[in-house]
């Protein structure tokens, strides 16, 4: 079961995020999927999550995830990730900069009945804002 849960999260990141296959949401996310994202967004249900994904895609059309590690325990899976992309659309009220970004995140997922019931992403938002030039590093 632990390996199945890991494969579910691999599909989530590779097919839904890297290939932008939003139709997969109906198969692998529970109807009441609860999500808390690194950009300060919370969503409830599949449709709200699909809208969130489109917000990210509009800001970073080439957004990609690299899974660095997956750890599974009972019905939980933790993913360690690296995000990359190019800032081509508005996000956080920040106009497109054309800058290439790369930052790290950790995500915690709860699996129920073979579907992802919830996800909570904790990303290095400070690093993202530094790369976008919104925050100037102190000396």
pLDDT per position as a tens digit, 49-83: 999 999 999 999 999 999 999 999 999 999 999 99
pLDDT confidence of residue 120? 97
- pLDDT tier at 139, thresholds 50, 70, 90: low
The CATH label, of 3.20.20.150, 3.10.450.50, 3.40.50.150, 3.30.70.1350, for the domain at 2-132 is 3.10.450.50
Mean pLDDT, range 10-18, rounded to an integer: 97
Q: What is the 3-state secondary structure (H, E, C) of 113-127?
A: CCEEEEEEEEECHHH
Q: Are 35 and 52 in contact (CB under 8 A)?
A: yes
> What is the end-to-end Cα distance of the chain in Å, rounded?
48
The CA distance from 58 to 123, in Å, is: 19
pLDDT confidence of residue 136? 84
pLDDT confidence of residue 92? 83
pLDDT confidence of residue 40? 79
Phi, psi of 53 (to 5 degrees): -60, -40
Q: What does the domain layout of the chain look like in residue ranges?
A: 2-132
């Amino acid at each position: 079961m632990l390996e199945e849960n890991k494969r579910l999260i691999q599909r989530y990141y590779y097919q839904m995020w890297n290939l932008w296959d939003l139709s997969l949401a109906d198969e692998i996310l529970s109807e009441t999927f609860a999500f808390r994202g690194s950009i300060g967004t919370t969503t409830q249900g599949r449709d709200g999550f699909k809208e969130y994904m489109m917000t990210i895609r509009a800001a970073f059309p080439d957004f990609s995830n690299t899974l660095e590690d997956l750890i599974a325990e009972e019905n939980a899976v933790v993913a360690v990730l690296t995000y990359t992309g190019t800032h081509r659309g508005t996000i956080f009220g920040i106009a497109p900069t054309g800058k290439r970004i790369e930052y790290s995140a950790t995500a915690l997922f709860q699996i129920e009945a073979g579907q992802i019931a919830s996800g909570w992403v904790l990303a290095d938002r400070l690093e993202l804002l530094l790369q976008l030039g919104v925050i100037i590093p102190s000396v």
